[in-house]
Amino acid sequence: KNQVEQSPQSLIILEGKNCTLQCNYTVSPFSNLRWYKQDTGRGPVSLTIMTFSENTKSNGRYTATLDADTKQSSLHITASQLSDSASYICVVSDRGSTLGRLYFGRGTQLTVWP
Amino acid sequence: EADIYQTPRYLVIGTGKKITLECSQTMGHDKMYWYQQDPGMELHLIHYSYGVNSTEKGDLSSESTVSRIRTEHFPLTLESARPSHTSQYLCASSKTTGDEETQYFGPGTRLLVL
């Protein structure tokens, strides 16, 4: 069973609207959680990283939240643009640096329509 | 934009052929990785390397092999391609800052074995 579950699997929104993507994980021990954006035909690009003590982090129109107690994270996209159309992947690390292993979610496929 | 490159970007090949997927990075990173990703599915780690002459198998069993003779180069080889090898292959390298390891992904190679 995948230890990182994302929802929804896919989402269609109109340009300019906001949306929120969810990530639930069971990975333990927890080191950090990253959100990646993967454009079609490209490799993933890191958007945000949060450690246990952080509960929110922003990167432009992207805001990630983390509740380490309930093991949930969300990625909020504000004022969506056509270029936001991509797959958004939640990745959890179980240990810092050298010995850490990464657990990948299957991603949420976001489509922004004009 | 990460300085990590993969060639070819797309490859269509017949069953039984030997293929090598190239990956190179100019960031001087010691750690490099190969992932396999099917559409709508999570990334699976198939090989990794912590430095020159160091290679390890990942979580997903793979019939491919890798080598790490130079820091910047991490090629993946399939001795005899089969249709089951059809997938996207992503190469990544990473650096560690404090306790945070950031992975940078290449654009991927989409492989189709007929």
- On average, the pLDDT of chain B sits at 91
Render pLDDT for B36-45 as a digit per residue (tens, 0 to 9). Answer: 999 888 999 9
pLDDT of residue B81: 94
Pick from A9, A97, A109: which is nearest to B96 by CB? A97
Q: Please, which residues 19-48 of chain B have a Cβ atom closer than 8 Å to chain A?
A: 40-45
Of the candidates B91, B101, B94, the one whose C-alpha atom is nearest the C-alpha of residue B51 is B94
Render pLDDT for A25-78 as a digit per residue (tens, 0 to 9). Answer: 998 888 889 999 999 888 999 999 898 888 999 999 999 999 999 999 999 999
Handedness of CA A14, A19, A24, A30 (dihedral sign): positive
Amino acid at B101: E
CB A21 within 8 A of CB A88: yes
Share of chain B above pLDDT 90, in %: 76
From B31, which residue of chain A is nearest by alpha-carbon distance? Answer: A98
Half-sphere exposure for B87 (CA within 13 Å, toward CB): 21
